[in-house]
Amino acid sequence: MLDKFTQFIEQHLAGPMEFLGNQRHLRAVRDGIVSTLPLIIVSSFFMILAFPPLPQDWGIYQFLSSNATTILLPYRMTMYIMSLYAAFGIGFSLSRSYKLDGLSGGILATTAFLLTFTPVNIPAEALNAAGTVGFVLPMANLGSAGMFVAIITSILAVEIYRITDRSKFKITMPAQVPPAVARSFEALTPTLVIILGMGAITYYIGFDWHTIVAKVVDPLVSAADSLPSVLLITFLTTFFWSFGIHGASIVGSLARPLWLQLLEGNTTAMASGDLIPNIAAEPFYQWFIWIGGAGSTIGLAILLAFRTKSEFGSKLGKTALLPAIFNINEPLIFGTPIVLNPILIPPFIIAPLVNGVIAWIATSIGLVNKVTVNAPWTLPGPIGAFLATGGDWRAIVLNVLLIVLSVLIYYPFVKIYDKNELEKEQLPAEELG
């Protein structure tokens, strides 16, 4: 039965999934957004610093909270405008995939994105004592709210760059000209097209990119912050992994823009002192569903290390336990293996689904804070959960309970797996060969 199902997957799903994972535009979006993760992770910790998990009568708490506006400035110039950085990353990656100059592509993509904004002229009396008149950009749309606009305009800009380059509709400099200077002149034509085209669409036609795209995307964002969506994403991730397809890469490429909107919605609300609205941002998956890696395999690692009698299972468990503590589970996925293994695939899919339901209920009824910090994914689970929820000690308890639950779910399957491995080790060498 499993062989027939595996054959069906290989014939009908493996190819399309591999194509989807390698599709240049999706890969560029993934690379561009992933390139912003260092900014998101580091700037998230300013949220903890501005709103420390300390008693309110402590002097250090009062000092930090009174200076929260200043403390949050690095956050506002990094994560709060993440779409601006993502636009450059998408343009750079997509240009490189076309063998074009990545730097020029990144700049063109950023230019196209910024040309979707209409600066607002602030009256002199609303500014400083000097009465200086100035223009400001609507900062909110530079963040995750503008992510889909950044994706669309970045791809559009690079495609214009590609078309002008392939059509030779560009300024070509002599070979003696330094490469950096030559590339700048070659980018003049697409720059002209992008500035005139985007400027005309935004300022002369009056097309409101952000309002229109937001109306299209809002149902997706709302749907992403629901228990059915959490379960679907969790299932698809482990389902694809079960057949050797990198589920996290495929599903994450499509879901990450939505996760970022949910996370920034939380951080913005926290910075403004409002109620935190969203549950299912990416850190929710990391610290309450994918503990130890996709499939909640921390439970499998613990059992293999301490509850197996077979030499292979015990050695593999002891080897894989330390990486699993830091959420690296490839040694388990390919070492046991979980891939195409009818014994270990069921708990690999079931454990994170059960964790997701319990974590969702615990968070939705207020037993645990909603996530506001994108803590580094290589942190041990309890520490990551504590930081991701803004220093909520209850998140540590929930994380540990979910690890125990994962152990219990994997236990009967590991017993069968260990029994089979033990029987193999007791067979004569000639029978194994």
The reply to whether 191 and 340 lie within a common domain is no
**pLDDT given at position 288:** 95
> Residue 123 above 80 pLDDT?
no
More confident residue, 338 or 243: 338
Q: What is the pLDDT of residues 271-309, one digit of tens each?
A: 888 899 999 999 999 999 999 988 999 999 999 999 888
Residue 118 lies inside a defined structural domain of this protein: yes
Residue 125: pLDDT band (50, 70, 90) is: low
Q: Is 205 exposed, middle or buried (0-12, 13-18, 19+ CB in 10 A)?
A: exposed
Rounded (10°) angle between helices 345-364 and 393-426: 170
Q: Has residue 18 got a pLDDT over 80?
A: no
CA–CA separation, 271 vs 186, rounded Å?
Answer: 44
pLDDT of residue 173: 63
- Mean pLDDT over 312-337 rounds to 88
Q: Are residues 205 and 237 in the same domain?
A: no
> What is the pLDDT at residue 313?
87
**200 to each of 196, 212, 414, how far by Cα in Å?**
6, 17, 63
The residue out of 171, 198, 218 marking a domain boundary is 218
- Domain annotation covers residue 162: yes
Q: 114 to each of 15, 60, 119, 183, 216, how far by Cα in Å?
A: 37, 40, 10, 22, 20
State which of 218, 249, 273 marks the end of a domain: 218
67 occurs within a structural domain? no
- For residue 41, what are its two tokens? 């992770």
Q: What percent of the chain has pLDDT over 90?
A: 42
Q: Please report whether residue 49 resides in a domain.
A: no
Residue 242 lies in a domain: yes
- Partners of residue 40 on adjacent β-strands: none
What is residue 181's predicted lDDT score, i.e. its pLDDT?
67
Q: Does the residue 46 lie in any domain?
A: no
Confidence of residue 69 (pLDDT cuts 50, 70, 90): confident
With bands split at pLDDT 50, 70 and 90, how would you rate the model's confidence at 370? very high
Provide the terminal-to-terminal Cα distance of the chain, rounded to the nearest Å: 26
Q: What is the CA radius of gyration of the chain?
A: 25
Range of the domain at 206: 78-218
Question: Which residues, 6+ apart, have CB-to-CB distance to 16 below 8 Å?
Answer: none
For the ranges 131-145, 183-197, 345-359, 377-391, the lowest mean pLDDT is seen at 131-145
Give 325 or 47, the one with higher predicted confidence: 325
For residue 53, being part of any structural domain is answered with no
What is the bridge-based pairing of β-strands 120-122 and 134-136? antiparallel
Residue of 44, 86, 85 whose CA lies nearest to 256: 86
**pLDDT reported for residue 33:** 86
How many other C-beta atoms are found inside a 10 Å radius of the C-beta of residue 337? 12
For the cut 80, the answer to whether the pLDDT of residue 270 exceeds it is yes
Whether residues 212 and 285 share a domain: the answer is no
397 and 269 in a common domain: yes
Domain end, chosen from 188, 218, 248, is at 218
pLDDT value of residue 126? 58
Q: Please indicate, yes or no, whether residues 236 and 210 belong to a single structural domain of this protein.
A: no
> Closest Cα partner for 2 from 345, 405, 252?
345
Q: Which pLDDT score is estimated for 17?
A: 58
The DSSP element (H or E) to which 412 belongs, if any, is helix 393-426
253 in the same domain as 397: yes
Whether the CB-CB separation of 158 and 94 falls below 8 Å is answered with yes
Contacts of 138 (CB under 8 A, 6+ apart): 117, 120, 210
pLDDT at 14 over 60: no
Are 204 and 299 part of one and the same domain? no
In this structure, the answer to whether residues 124 and 240 fall within a common structural domain is no
Which helix (DSSP H) or strand (DSSP E) does residue 368 occupy?
none
Helix, strand or coil for residue 92?
helix
**DSSP state at residue 124:** G
How confident is the model over 237-265, as a mean pLDDT? 82
Total domains in the fold of the chain: 2
Q: How far is CA 208 from CA 84, 115, 307, in A?
A: 18, 11, 61
Question: If you average pLDDT over every residue of the chain, what do you get?
Answer: 85
Q: Which two tokens stand for residue 220?
A: 């997706």
Give the rounded distance of the alpha carbon of 244 from its chain centre.
21
Paired tokens of 149:
């606009």
Cis peptide before 337 (omega within 30 of 0): yes
Phi, psi angles (nearest 5°) of residue 82: -60, -30
pLDDT at position 131? 53
Is 275 inside a domain boundary?
A: yes
- 270 and 333 fall within a common domain: yes
**Pair 411, 334 in one domain:** yes
Coil, strand or helix at 141 = helix
What is the pLDDT at residue 52?
82
pLDDT at 60: 87
Lowest mean pLDDT among 29-33, 171-175, 243-247, 321-325: 171-175
Please check whether residues 271 and 395 belong to one and the same domain. Answer: yes
Give yes or no for residue 390 having a pLDDT over 80. Answer: yes
Q: Is the pLDDT of residue 172 over 90?
A: no
Chain Cα centroid distance, residue 240: 18
DSSP 16: H
Q: How far is CA 281 from CA 9, 263, 266, 373, in A?
A: 30, 5, 9, 10
Tokens of 320: 């894989």
The whole model's pTM is what? 0.79
Residues 173 and 289 in one domain: no
- Predicted confidence at residue 68, as pLDDT, reads 86
Q: Read off the pLDDT of each residue in 212-230 and give the average, rounded to a whole number.
A: 88
Q: What is the mean pLDDT of residues 115-141?
A: 72
